[in-house]
Structure 1
Amino acid sequence: MDENNPEEFYKKLKEQLEDTSKWPSDYLYKFIVKSETAKIAEIHKIFDNMGAVIESKKSKKGKYTSVSITVNLKDPDAVIEKYKEVGEIEGVISL
């Protein structure tokens, strides 16, 4: 993500999603976070009660955790809304 101009990033993402997918659609999020239970739980909470499939995998040394989330969303705006919510959690990297 462009740290200097997140709004431009989200605008481009929305255009790409509109051009490449039919909505509603499944969307795969990938995040990297330090292997701290509280941070991983915060990510889980954002996708709670949405029927999301969440998979977590620790890095080789266990310092970081990869969190993959597949969830059915109604439109590109819903995808971006979740990115913004997760972006509020300190130290989470969106892939």
Structure 2
Amino acid sequence: MSSFKLFLIILICGSSAIGLIFIKHESRELFIELEAHKKHRDQLNIEWNELKSEEIRLGNPARIEQQAIEALELKKPAVDEMRIYKK
């Protein structure tokens, strides 16, 4: 085997090894980034569920009515304060 062929085989194997190392490194970086995105997604899902629960709680008609009664200081009129009008 000529020295040129041997040199060419070593060069190709070396290039392949360097390429493999580069691809492995990039794969690890992408995996770390993927895990960070998954963690962020999970945090957003938790926040979304909390916001949906709060929306349900705040939109409860009984709660809204109670707050309106308190804010406007509403009270039921006494019987003598009631007037009934007929057509």
Alignment TM-score > 0.5, same fold? no
**Greater relative CO, 1 or 2 (CA 8 Å, sep 6+):** 1
Which one has the bigger helix percentage? 2
Task: Pick the structure with greater CA Rg.
Answer: 2
TM-score scaled by structure 2?
0.20
TM-score scaled by structure 1?
0.19
